[in-house]
Amino acid sequence: MSHTIAPGKAAPSAPPAQPNLSDLRLAFSHGFRVSADEAAVAAARREVPAVARGWGVPLTDETFSDLGLLSSEVITNAIRHTNAPCAVVMRWTGTRVRVEVTDVSPVRPKPRHGSLDAEGGRGLLLVNALAADWGSIDDPAGKVVWFELGPSDGTPPPWSTPGKWTITTDSGSATSGYLPAWAEDDPTEVNVPLDQLTERLAGINHRNFFEGPMLPLTAPDVWEGVEEDAVFEGSVDCNPYDPDPGLRVPVVNLQVCVGRWILGLDPHGLAEVAAKLHAHADFLEAKVRPALVAAREDWAAHQPPAQQRSPASGP
């Protein structure tokens, strides 16, 4: 589960006392706001590893350096592509430092193909190369891009039990639930303020992403030119505490294209969408494509040669 803060609101910081690393159930978090000025990124780059060092987390000097570098890259992307402030939340999970950057854009990032030395878009290439894990999720404020640094062997936090999550409050009460094997995140957390338990439970979202085919998309009213992006990608989601009982069981959410979704599909609904896509693919191949070929041949046969040239081809 990702806990985020809206831009302009600070998350509670960890107590100043050093954590007892023999008891990794102590989970610390720290949040801050970064203004819409790339000059502010330098301060954020220093703050993230400094806070992690203050917690006494057992990371190498190289990992602390990577922590500042990747924070800088993700924060820079958030500011550069939104021209708005972003919010940063970091926490120690017991095995990794997790950094979450929330910005106001709903467009989730995709790494570009290229080298780490390429100009532009190198941020996600670095994150992909150096982070133990990373990803992005939708958020009411826009989206969250997160990464984790620490052991890369997938070792779960020592308090995590396979097939079960547990949220323990600062008063000692514990709430547990089933953790599916397919879920990409474990909402297990300790020392949660009792008055925040309801919010934590409401935010639990067991999720597993799947990709869609990349196609050239254009939105003349939004951006210029053509951009490659995925269509009909999405996720399997389950929100066990959602007010809607239909979302307390796994459903599929499909992003038709950037910013356009088909939500809450049960197996029957997903089958209907798949059947319609199959039928439409058959229609495109069996009917539309031959009609297009015939139309182009007819057009070429009836147009004077001068009118068949592209305007960009010149005289």
In a domain, 55, yes or no: yes
Residues 144 and 87 in one domain: yes
In a domain, 209, yes or no: no
Taking alpha carbons only, the member of 201, 86, 71 closest to residue 141 is: 86
Residues 154 and 171 in one domain: no
Residues 30 and 144 in one domain: yes
Residues 43 and 92 in one domain: yes
Task: Pull the structure tokens for residue 8.
Answer: 């302009």
What is the per-residue pLDDT across 125-175, written as a single tens digit (0 to 9) for each? 888 888 988 888 887 778 989 999 985 444 444 444 568 888 989 898 999
Report pLDDT for 284.
85
Indicate if the alpha-carbon torsion angle 44, 49, 50, 56 is positive or negative.
positive
Best mean pLDDT range from 149-158, 202-211, 281-290: 281-290
Report pLDDT for 315.
41
CB atoms within 10 A of CB 2: 19
Q: In degrees rounded to 5, what are phi and psi of residue 147? A: -150, 160
Q: Which domain holds residue 183?
A: 160-204
Report pLDDT for 20.
38
* Position 50 confidence tier, pLDDT thresholds 50, 70, 90: very high
Domain termination residue (choose one: 128, 158, 188): 158
Would you give the DSSP letter of residue 288? I
Report pLDDT for 147.
92
Question: Looking at the predicted structure, is the pLDDT value of residue 13 above 60?
Answer: no
CB atoms within 10 A of CB 279: 10
Residues 42 and 137 in one domain: yes
Residues 140 and 223 in one domain: no
Report pLDDT for 241.
93
Residues 174 and 154 in one domain: no
* Dist. CA 182–CA 134, nearest whole Å: 16
Q: Any long-range contacts for 185-190 (C-beta under 8 Å, 24+ apart)?
A: 185/1, 185/2, 186/1, 186/156, 186/157, 186/160, 187/1, 188/157, 188/159, 188/160, 189/1, 189/27, 190/25, 190/26, 190/27, 190/159
* Position 93 confidence tier, pLDDT thresholds 50, 70, 90: confident
Residues 151 and 115 in one domain: yes
* Position 21 confidence tier, pLDDT thresholds 50, 70, 90: very low
In a domain, 71, yes or no: yes
Residues 32 and 94 in one domain: yes
Task: Pull the structure tokens for residue 71.
Answer: 């924070």
In a domain, 225, yes or no: yes
Domain count, the chain: 4
* Position 227 confidence tier, pLDDT thresholds 50, 70, 90: confident
Report pLDDT for 268.
92
